[in-house]
Amino acid sequence: MTEKTILRALKGEVLPTPPIWMMRQAGRYLPEYRATRAQAGDFLSLCYTPDLAAEVTLQPIRRFGFDAAILFADILLICQALGAKLWFETGEGPRLSTVTSAAEIEALKPADAIHDTLAPVYETVRILSRELPKETTLIGFAGAPWTVATYMVAGRGTRDQGPAHALKTSDRAAFQALIDRLTDATIDYLSMQVQVGAEVVKLFDSWAGSLKGQDFTDFAVAPTARIIAELKSRHPGLPIIAFPREAGQGYVGFARATGADCVALDNSVSPEWAAANVQVDGCVQGNLAPGYMVTGGPEMDTAIRQVVRAFAKGPHIFNLGHGITPEADPDNVARMIEVVRGG
């Protein structure tokens, strides 16, 4: 069987047509997702019901024929597995019990205790590995330690990650202990996803852009490098995508510093700049602005072709610069795929 296109790109092959998938491709913009979410009753029940989580993962593959499916789960499930309370407020997003002191961090469960809570996620991966089309790559994922820590310290998402920055400043040793606990747990979590069928894994560091200077090195680069090194030790040849969103100049050299096979790019950097400064080190993923999935039209077609053209001389996986939004039009997604594939 010819190797899957995303796996070829991740090995550094330059393909005439970039493979394509989309962050949050299983989501609220699809009516079939909304129907399955209603069947589940609430978001966490959807995440923890393998048949339904697999169903929503498969929906965009059936509808659009993406080259990859990404496991449907949430980056904060690992917090619950470590002992934090987790719930979702309708219309407002996730809420967690806070972890703000050395004692509370020490009281978290050890990394090897996460698997009972996360067993339904592994079952979802098993189902997907059986049911996905043979040409579709299965991507597992986790949140990167810094991003997950920002939620654990604040108890919710925040605009500037201020509570995590404050703890980092007031008690760096305690904050480092939280990062270390999350790093260990993330290694075990992703390793188990691979054992049960994930072919690629991705680390989402959604708030990496708020880290500057030495903090970026200590809390974005170093944990990612340790996770990647350990996963590649356990699973030789495993391709890994890293996404330090809004890293700016931090994108430069990120693949070399961490061992990532591919660096995913947000749309705050131009594809031309990223081709010259990031793609020189290997595969890149991105980076169409998600807003085009709402607005569509000739401007979208032009922007898609700009991304494809800018990255055409190196290994590239086409994607958005961030997740698709609930108000996006599925017809624009179909058109995006058509244009990327030469339409």
Find how far residue 36's CA is from the centre of its chain.
22
Catalytic residue among 29, 33, 37, 292: 37
pTM over 0.85: yes
Predicted local confidence at residue 343, as pLDDT: 72
Residues 6 or more apart whose CB falls under 8 angstroms from that of 175 comprise 149, 164, 167, 168
Rg, C-alpha atoms of the chain: 19
Q: What are the tens digits of pLDDT across the range 176-210? A: 999 999 999 999 999 999 999 999 999 999 999 99
**pLDDT score, position 72:** 98
SS3 193: helix
Phi, psi of 130 (to 5 degrees): -85, -35
Q: Yes or no: say if 332 and 22 are a contact pair by the CB < 8 Å rule.
A: no
The answer to whether 220 and 146 are in contact (CB under 8 A) is yes
What are the domain boundaries of the chain?
5-340
The answer to whether the CB of 262 falls within 8 A of the CB of 285 is yes
Identity (one letter) of the amino acid at 294?
Answer: V
CB 139 within 8 A of CB 148: no
Confidence class for position 92, pLDDT limits 50, 70, 90: confident
Q: Is 301 a catalytic residue?
A: no
Q: What is the 3-state secondary structure (H, E, C) of 167-181?
A: HHHHCHHHHHHHHHH
Beta-strand relationship, 262-264 and 283-288? parallel
Statement: residue 154 has pLDDT above 60: yes
Q: What contacts 86, CB < 8 A, 6 or more positions away?
A: 44, 76, 77, 79, 80, 94, 95, 96
State the Cα–Cα distance between residues 18 and 264, nearest whole angstrom. Answer: 14
Residues 58-71: pLDDT tens digits?
999 999 999 999 99
Say which of 24, 226, 245, 335 is annotated catalytic.
24
The torsion region of residue 249 among left (phi > 0), alpha (psi -120 to 50) and beta comes to alpha
CATH class of the structural domain 5-340: alpha beta
Give the other-Cβ count within 10 Å of 92's Cβ.
9
Report residue 269 as tokens: 């950097």
DSSP E strands in 160-221: the ranges are 200-205
37 is catalytic: yes
pLDDT at position 1 over 60 = no
Report the SS3 class of residue 320: strand
Query: Would residue 74 show up in a list of annotated catalytic residues for this protein?
Result: yes
Percentage of the chain exceeding pLDDT 90: 98
| Torsion angles phi and psi, residue 246, rounded to 5 | 60, 30
Q: What is the pLDDT of residues 298-312, one digit of tens each?
A: 999 999 999 999 999
Helix-strand-coil percent breakdown of the chain, rounded to 5? 55, 15, 35
Instruction: Tell me, yes or no, if 256 is annotated catalytic.
Output: no
Beta bridge partners of 203: 142, 242
Q: What is the DSSP letter of 220?
A: I
Question: Are the C-beta atoms of 79 and 148 separated by less than 8 Å?
Answer: yes
The average pLDDT across 99-113 equals 96
Residue 287 has φ and ψ, to the nearest 5°, of: -140, 50
Residue 2 has pLDDT above 80, yes or no: no
Residue in 74, 184, 188, 261 annotated catalytic: 74
Indicate whether 316 pLDDT > 60.
yes
Structure tokens at 333: 């997604």
Which of the four pLDDT bands, split at 50, 70 and 90, describes residue 148? very high
DSSP, res 221: I
Q: Of 29, 33, 48, 151, which one is the catalytic site residue?
A: 151
Q: Which of 8, 28, 34, 156 is catalytic?
A: 28
Amino acid at 118: L
Choice among 86-95, 115-124, 138-147 with the minimum mean pLDDT: 86-95
